[in-house]
Structure 1
C-alpha cells in the first residue's frame, strides 16, 4: 500500500489540485540560472548581492544553508542589532524555511533550494498551487 493524493489531501489539508509547481529557470545549474537566483534572493529577502554570492559559493549550488537563512531574520539574543527587515522579506524567508523543513525536506537537512523561493515570489498565488501533488511527487 502506498500514499495516494487522497491521503495527502486528508492528512495534510493542502490542495492537491491547482497550478503546476514547476520552476524552469532552475532546472540546471548554469551561470544564467545562478545570476537569476542571486538576484531573486537579493530582491525578495532583502540581502545585498555580495552576501548572497558568498553564501551560494559556500553552498556550491542554487541553494542556501538553513542556518544562513535563519540568521538573517532571527537575531541572536546577544546581538545589539535591533533592525529588522521589511515584513514581506520576513514572510518570504519564513515560508521558504517552512517549505524546506516540511514538504520538501531533503536528506542533507541543512540546505534550501532557491527554486522554492521562485514559487513564493507572488504571495497572492501561493494558495493556488497543487502543493499536495507536488509533495507526493517529491516524496516518491
Structure 2
C-alpha cells in the first residue's frame, strides 16, 4: 500500500487541485528506451545528441548527473565563447535541476532521472500541476520511510 494524493488531502485537510504529478518511466533500460531518452534530452534541453550520449554512457542509465546539468547552464565566470541555449531550454534545465533536488531527489543526491523532462515538455502547462500536493506527498513518504 502506498500514500496517494487523496491521502494528502485527507490527512492534511488541504484541497488538491491541478493535474497529478506523475510520469511514466522508461519501463526498462533497453536500446529503444535509451534512444528515446537521449532524443528527449536533446530536444528539450537543446544539447547535441552526441553530448547526451556521452553523459548517458558516463551515468550508466536513463539518468544524467546534476553536475553535468548544472555545467550546461551555469558556465564558469569569465569563460569565453559560451554558447547559451534558447531560453526555454534553460528554463527546463533549471526546473529539472530544482525538481531533482526537491520532489524527486534520490539517495545519491547526484542523479537526475531523464523521465522527469516529460513534465516540463510544455512549459505553459507546468503551472497546472499539483506541485504543492506532490511536495506534501513526498514529505509524507520520506517520513514514513524513516519511521518504518
TM-score (norm 1): 0.82
Q: Does the alignment pair 1:5 with 2:8? A: yes
Q: CA RMSD in A?
A: 2.3
4+ runs deviating over 6 angstroms: 7-10
The offset of 1:106, in angstroms, is 1.3
The aligned counterpart of 1:83 is 83
- 1:54 and 2:67 equivalent? no
Larger radius of gyration: 2
Partner of 2:98: 98
Tell me the alpha carbon deviations over residues 25-50 of structure 1, each in whole angstroms, 9 at most, x when there is no partner: 52332222211110010011111001
Summarize the Cα distance change of 1:133–1:54 in structure 2 as closer, same or farther, 3 Å threshold.
same
Indicate if the aligned counterparts of 1:39 and 1:49 stay in contact, CA closer than 8 A: yes
Which protein, 1 or 2, shows the higher relative CO under an 8 Å CA cutoff with sep ≥ 6? 1
Once residues 8 and 43 of structure 2 are traced to their aligned partners in structure 1, the CA distance between those partners, rounded to angstroms, is 35
Partner of 1:113: 113
Task: List runs of 5+ in structure 2 lacking aligned partners.
Answer: 1-6, 142-148
Task: Please state whether the residue corresponding to 1:72 is helix, strand or coil.
Answer: helix
Contact 1:66 1:111 survives alignment (8 Å): yes
Offset of 1:111 from its aligned partner?
0.6
Name the CA distance, whole Å, in 2 between partners of 1:9 and 1:102: 22
Shift of 1:138: 4.3
| TM-score using structure 2 length | 0.78
CA contact (8 A) 1:104 1:135 kept: no
Range 81-90 or range 39-48, more displaced: 81-90
Distance 1:48-1:8 versus aligned 2 partners, 3 A rule: farther
Unpaired runs of 5+ residues, structure 1, are none
